[in-house]
Amino acid sequence: MALIACAFCKGKGKDPFGLLSKLADCQVCKGTGKVEVPWPMVECAFCKGSGIHPHSRITCSACRGKGRTAFRGAKEECLNCGGRGYKVDGNLPCSVCQGTGIVHKEGG
């Protein structure tokens, strides 16, 4: 595991959109500004590492707001989504790579 700055609130510990209250704690890091992520990891392609869903003001459904997802081993671009982490409409993470944009290389 590795401790990184929370992508959703950019390490500030506060809800970036203030939907409940301007003083509400970030729901991803619980106000600490830091999140634990599995190691090794890659940047989430679905939200481009921002932790924010590309189409709504909610946490990214692929990485749950952390901006990073676990990935171990040899990788290659996901052919299903072309490495973008989402299919054409962009509302849901790619079902093959779960939003990472990469898949395990066969044989690797």
Q: Residues interacting with Zn ion, by CB under 5 A?
A: 6, 8-9, 26, 28-29, 44, 46-47, 60, 62-63, 78, 80-81, 94, 96-97
Q: Cβ neighbours of residue 29 under 8 Å, at least 6 residues apart? A: 6, 8, 9, 13, 35
Output 41 or 78, the one with its CB closest to Zn ion. Answer: 78
Output 11 or 107, the one with its CB closest to Zn ion. Answer: 11
- Closest CB 13 distance from Zn ion, rounded Å: 6
**Ordered DSSP codes for 45-64:** TTTTTS-B-TTSSSB-TTTT
- Closest CB 107 distance from Zn ion, rounded Å: 19
- Closest CB 36 distance from Zn ion, rounded Å: 12
Cis peptide before 38 (omega within 30 of 0): no
**79 is written with which tokens?**
């052919």
Radius of gyration (Cα) for the chain, nearest Å?
Answer: 14
Output 6 or 41, the one with its CB closest to Zn ion. Answer: 6
